[in-house]
Structure 1
C-alpha cells in the first residue's frame, strides 16, 4: 500500500529495533486483502522519485526507441493459448504504472513504457504469436484487471505465494531477490543476522524485507547481540540521502531497484543478496493470470523457449538482473507460506 507524498523537505523518520512490526497480514487488513499485498519482492518504489531513471555516464538506453530483443513464434507454445485469446491476436498485459526502474518505467519521452517487465512479456507474446498490449495500472488494479477479464497477464514483480495461488495461476520467470545496499567502499558484507547487529538500516514498511529484517533483529537479541536500529523513510530519495550522509549503514530492498541504483548512481554497492522468502523458501517472480484461464501453461512454455534460445538471458543482462535468472519456468510452484489471518 502506497503512502501519501509529502511536500516538506524533512523526511518522515521512525526508528526502533522492535517497533513497526507490521506483518504482511496486518497490512492486508488495511489494504485489499493478503492475496493482493506487496508480498512480492516489492520492486515497487514508494514514490515516483525513488530511483533515478538514468545517470550521466550510464550506457543504459532509457529512450523511447528500445530496440527490444524480439522472439519468434513457437508453434507448440502458441497451440497452448486458449482459442478465445488466440482469436484476438493480442496479449493484454498489465504492468504497474509509475517509475520503478528497471522493472517498469517511462522512457525519456515520459510516454513510452520500458523496463525488464516489458521486455520479457514482449518475448513471451512474440513466442505465442500474439501482439503485446500494455496497460499501465495501479498495483491494486492489476489484480482487478485479472479478476474482471480485462487482462490476460500481469508482469509486475509478483511473487508466487500460497495465498495468491488460491485466486491466480503463475508461470515463473525470475528469482525474487532482495539486496542490502551500502555506501561504495564500505567493506561490509551481509550474510545473516550477525552481520547487521547494531547497524542502522532502512527498510520499507509492510514488505517482506521488513519482516526479514525484524526477524534478524529478534534473533540478534536472543543471541545476546545488539538489535538492528530499523528506520523508515517516506521516500526512497530520503533513504539515499541518509545513506550518503552516514545516518544509516544500509538499505534492505528489492534487488532489481537496488541493482539499478548501484549501476546508475556510482555511489553505492550491493553488500548482500537474499531470497524474498527469507530462509524459508526461495521466492520466485511469475507471470500472473486468472486461475483456470488456461494461460499459465502457455506462458511457461514460451518462457522455457526463450530461456533455451538465449534471448531471456540477454534481456536480464541488459537490465543488470542476470543474478535473478531461472533455468526453467514452473507453473504454480511452492510459494511463500500463507499468512496468518
Structure 2
C-alpha cells in the first residue's frame, strides 16, 4: 500500500483538523501539558517503512463526542482524551499523529479507501466492523440515555423509550441497541438517525426528540458541563451493552497494528494512559490489557 511522504511538522505531535468550523469542544481536562513520553527507538524502527518515511500517521475522527473528541475553542483543533492518547503514542513512536475530521458513518469506508492511516473516534469494536478493519482496543464504555432536564416524560430505562422519539448518531452501535430494544416494546420507537451526536442533542433540546442514546462518557459530559447541564439529564448510570473502543487499522497493515498494540500497552504499563484518562474524568473506562479485535457478542 503506497502513501506519499508528508513532512514532519515538528518534534511535538500536532493535532489538527481539515474542517474550518464547528461547535466549541468543552475541555474538562487541565490546561497543563500531558505527561512526558520519551521516544522509543526500537518501536520507531518497528513501524512500517512508509510510516517512518512519511513521519506522520493521519487519524480519521468525528469531533462531536466530548470528552473523547470534539472541536476546541478555536473551532478547528480536535481536543479530548483520544487526541491526547494519539499525541502520547506519537511521542513514543517518534511520528506526528494528525487527527482530521470526517463523518462517523463513513470512517471505516475512508480507512478502506486509504484516505487515512487510522480511525480513532469512539468506534466500538463489533464483529460486524471487524469484517472491515482490525481494532486495537483502548477503552470500555456502554450506552446511556439522555433526556431533558427534569425528565418530564419519566424515562428511566430502555423500556421507557417505547413509543418515544429517540435521536442517535447514524452508524453507531446505538442504532442496533434500539433495534433490539424494539423487540420488547408494544409501541414503536421512532429512531431518528442524524449525522452527529451534536445534532442528536439539538433534536432533544428543541423538542423534536424525547431522548438521546449515546455512549456513557459523552452522555455524562453533556449532563455535567456547566454550559449544557441545564438542558440535559442522565437517566441513570446504567451502561447498556458495554463494549471496547478500538483504533481501526486496515486489515492488510498488521505490522502497523502490532506496533500500535505494543506502544499502547507501554503507555498503560507506564501509567501515562491512566493519567490521561483521569485528566478527562474518564478513568472508569480504562482497560488493563490492550487487546486486538476484542468484540463482544451483541446483548
Q: TM-score range by the shorter chain?
A: 0.7 to 0.9
1:141-152 aligned within 5 A: 142-143=107-108, 145-152=110-117
Is the contact between residue 73 and residue 127 of structure 1 (CA under 8 Å) also seen in structure 2?
A: yes
Gaps of 5+ in 1: 1-47, 222-226
Query: Within the alignment, does 1:203 sit opposite 2:164 as a pair?
Result: no
- Equivalent residue, structure 1, for 2:264: 303
- Equivalent residue, structure 1, for 2:47: 81
Q: 1:238 to 1:166 in 2, by over 3 A?
A: closer
1:153 Cα deviation from its structure 2 partner: 1.7
- Equivalent residue, structure 2, for 1:115: 80
1:173 Cα deviation from its structure 2 partner: 0.7
1:118 Cα deviation from its structure 2 partner: 0.9
Q: How many residue pairs get matched? A: 266
Could you tell me how far apart the structure 2 residues matched to 1:198 and 1:192 are?
Answer: 8
Q: 1:60 to 1:133 in 2, by over 3 A?
A: closer
- Equivalent residue, structure 2, for 1:21: none
- Equivalent residue, structure 1, for 2:122: 157
Counterpart of 1:181 in 2: which secondary structure? strand
Q: RMSD across aligned C-alpha pairs, in angstroms? A: 3.5
- Equivalent residue, structure 1, for 2:184: 219
Q: Which has the higher contact order (CA 8 A, sep 6+)?
A: 1
Q: Please report the TM-score for the alignment, with normalisation by the length of structure 2.
A: 0.73
Q: Can you list the C-alpha shifts for 1:177-218, whole angstroms capped at 9, x where unaligned?
A: 21112455659795664xx27674523266432332343243
Q: 1:70 to 1:170 in 2, by over 3 A?
A: farther
Q: Please report the TM-score for the alignment, with normalisation by the length of structure 1.
A: 0.65
Could you tell me how far apart the structure 2 residues matched to 1:142 and 1:192 are?
Answer: 28
Where does structure 1 differ by over 6 angstroms across 4 or more consecutive aligned residues? none
Query: Within the alignment, does 1:288 sit opposite 2:248 as a pair?
Result: yes
Q: 1:135 to 1:66 in 2, by over 3 A?
A: farther
Is the contact between residue 120 and residue 247 of structure 2 (CA under 8 Å) also seen in structure 1?
A: yes
1:149 Cα deviation from its structure 2 partner: 4.0
